[in-house]
């Protein structure tokens, strides 16, 4: 079902807004839907929505505790409102793949069956440590490979990306020079499909569903989303979403890998991080810093854009 192939990714158009988008309840057609795509799922939000569907469908007197206790419908809805608000305030994300199935109860409804997936990020011999997934991507080419995988998450694509990266690494080891690497050296960890209670979620989609309500499923997932929601903000490039001193005088491997080592810009300026905040914004911010240096003015529009982006990613 996938519509892009491995070779097409080099020609993929640069996307303008770089953030994941919430999927509503108005049938899955509102998203580009690929069979092997990885979504992010806000687990408590999806759980609260599903519970509400059960209460509405079965009737509150038929949803009982193990001891046989039933709650009045009004109380149920108060509790579920509270759960939904809490889930928006403190989301807990996991990766999921989703498949559309027809609903048996209504012809205008479909069911999105979401199955939790998890990358194996364990560190051999260190049970209390978890590796960083996207926050450790080394350069723009590696970011492109990782984002390609998010839309085509199969073992075959992972193997292709990993093999190509291994070749680059092997060739670099043969070369003596300590040059910055601009080819992809992304390594895709093993992706496991989980099953059982707490790992499979159902989202009921109806054609007449109210607009703008979030189902808990997010598509168009990109590297900054993964760093914010899965890696808990851990990023090798920056300290706190900005990198300081991007001038060539104060080089560092992150600056070299992202091609900032030839910039001529004052020592004090800090640039918004290309890896965990996003490359488009980082590029624009760089232009803005040059403009500020030459004009002696402040770019307040850029400051607002950065603030909005950080809050969109959940950094406040």
Q: Which positions touch Zn ion (CB under 5 A)?
A: 235, 237-238, 245, 250, 267, 273, 275-276
CA–CA dist 281, 313 (Å, integer): 13
CB of 276 to Zn ion, least distance (A): 3
Say if CB 199 and CB 216 are below 8 A apart.
no
Label residue 180 exposed, middle or buried (CB < 10 Å: 0-12, 13-18, 19+). middle
CB of 1 to Zn ion, least distance (A): 34
Nearer to Zn ion, 158 or 271 (CB): 271
CA distances from 69 to 48, 55, 64, 77, 123 (A): 19, 14, 5, 16, 45
Nearer to Zn ion, 134 or 237 (CB): 237
Nearer to Zn ion, 31 or 306 (CB): 306
Residues contacting residue 204 through CB under 8 Å, at least 6 positions apart: 25, 50, 53, 103, 109, 110, 111, 112
CB of 16 to Zn ion, least distance (A): 21
Angle value at C-alpha 72, between 69 and 78, nearest 5 degrees: 115
Nearer to Zn ion, 185 or 243 (CB): 243
Nearer to Zn ion, 26 or 248 (CB): 248
Nearer to Zn ion, 158 or 186 (CB): 186
Say if CB 231 and CB 132 are below 8 A apart.
yes
Residues contacting residue 250 through CB under 8 Å, at least 6 positions apart: 267
CB of 269 to Zn ion, least distance (A): 9
CB of 221 to Zn ion, least distance (A): 17
CB of 101 to Zn ion, least distance (A): 39
């Amino acid at each position: 079902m996938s519509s892009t192939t491995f070779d097409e990714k080099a020609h993929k158009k640069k996307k303008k807004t770089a953030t994941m988008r919430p999927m509503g309840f108005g049938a899955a057609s509102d998203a580009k839907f690929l069979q092997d795509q990885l979504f992010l799922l806000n687990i408590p939000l999806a759980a609260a929505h599903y519970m509400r569907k059960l209460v509405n469908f079965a009737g509150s007197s038929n949803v009982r505790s193990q001891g046989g206790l039933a709650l009045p419908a009004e109380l149920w809805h108060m509790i579920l409102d509270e759960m939904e608000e809490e889930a928006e305030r403190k989301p807990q994300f996991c990766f999921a793949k989703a498949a559309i199935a027809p609903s048996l109860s209504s012809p205008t409804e479909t069911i999105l069956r979401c199955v939790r997936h998890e990358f194996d990020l364990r560190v051999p011999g260190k049970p209390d440590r978890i590796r960083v997934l996207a926050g450790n991507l080394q350069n723009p080419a590696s970011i492109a490979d990782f984002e390609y995988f998010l839309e085509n998450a199969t073992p075959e694509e992972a193997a292709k990306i990993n093999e190509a990266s291994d070749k680059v690494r092997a060739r670099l080891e043969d070369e003596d020079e300590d040059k910055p690497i601009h080819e992809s050296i992304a390594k895709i960890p093993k992706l496991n499909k989980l099953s059982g209670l707490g790992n499979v979620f159902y989202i009921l989609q109806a054609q007449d569903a109210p607009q703008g309500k979030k189902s808990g499923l997010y598509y168009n997932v990109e590297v900054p989303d993964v760093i914010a929601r899965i890696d808990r903000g851990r990023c090798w490039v920056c300290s706190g979403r900005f990198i300081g001193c991007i001038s060539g005088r104060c080089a560092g491997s992150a600056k070299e890998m992202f091609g900032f080592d030839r910039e001529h810009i004052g020592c004090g300026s800090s640039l918004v991080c290309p890896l965990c905040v996003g490359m488009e914004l980082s590029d624009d911010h760089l232009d803005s810093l040059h403009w500020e240096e030459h004009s002696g003015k402040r770019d307040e529009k850029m400051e607002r854009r950065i603030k909005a982006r950080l809050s969109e990613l959940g950094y406040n």
